[in-house]
Amino acid sequence: MKTLLSLFCLVTYLTCALSANGWPVSLDMACNKALSAVACSFEFTNNANEDLYLLKRNTPLEGLRSQFVSVSLDGHPLQYEGIIMYSLPPTKDEFVLLKAGESISASVQITDAFSIDTDGLYTVQYSRPLQYLSVNEMSAMSTGKLRESFVRESVHIHLEDTSLLSRPKEQKVEIDYTVYIESCTAASFSNGDRNNSATLDAHKRLCAGLDKAKGAVGNNTRYVTWFGAYTAARAAIAADTYSKMRTGIGSKSLTYYNNGPLCKSNWIAYTYKSYSQTVTYLCNLYYDDPTACRGTAYTKEGTLVHEWAHALAARDDVAYGPSNCKSLAKSNPDNALRNADSYTYFYCEGR
- 64-112, pLDDT tens digit by residue? 989 999 999 998 999 999 999 999 888 888 999 999 999 999 999 999 9
Bridge partners for 316 per DSSP: 339
DSSP annotation of 145 reads S
Mean of pLDDT values over 224-250: 97
Asked if 306 contacts 332 with a C-beta cutoff of 8 angstroms, the reply is: no
pLDDT number for residue 4: 35
Q: What pTM did the predictor assign?
A: 0.85
Question: What dihedral angle (degrees, nearest 10) is formed by the CA atoms of 56, 57, 62, 66?
Answer: -150
Biggest alpha carbon–alpha carbon distance for the chain:
64
Confidence at 39, pLDDT banded by 50, 70, 90: very high
Share of the chain above pLDDT 70, in %: 89
C-alpha distances (whole Å) from 279 to each of 240, 253, 282, 288, 312 are: 21, 9, 10, 20, 10
Percent of the chain with pLDDT over 90: 76
Sign (positive or negative) of CA dihedral 252, 257, 263, 267 = positive
Q: How far apart are the first and last CA of the chain?
A: 45
Q: Lowest mean pLDDT of 19-23, 151-155, 246-250, name the range.
A: 19-23
Mean pLDDT over 289-315 rounds to 97
The 3-class secondary structure across 279-329, one letter per residue, is: EEEECHHHHHCCCCCCCCCCCHHHHHHHHHHHHHHCCECCCCCHHHHHHHH
Domains, the chain, in order of start with CATH, read 25-164 (2.60.40.2970), 177-350 (3.40.390.10)
Neighbours of 256 (CB within 10 A): 25
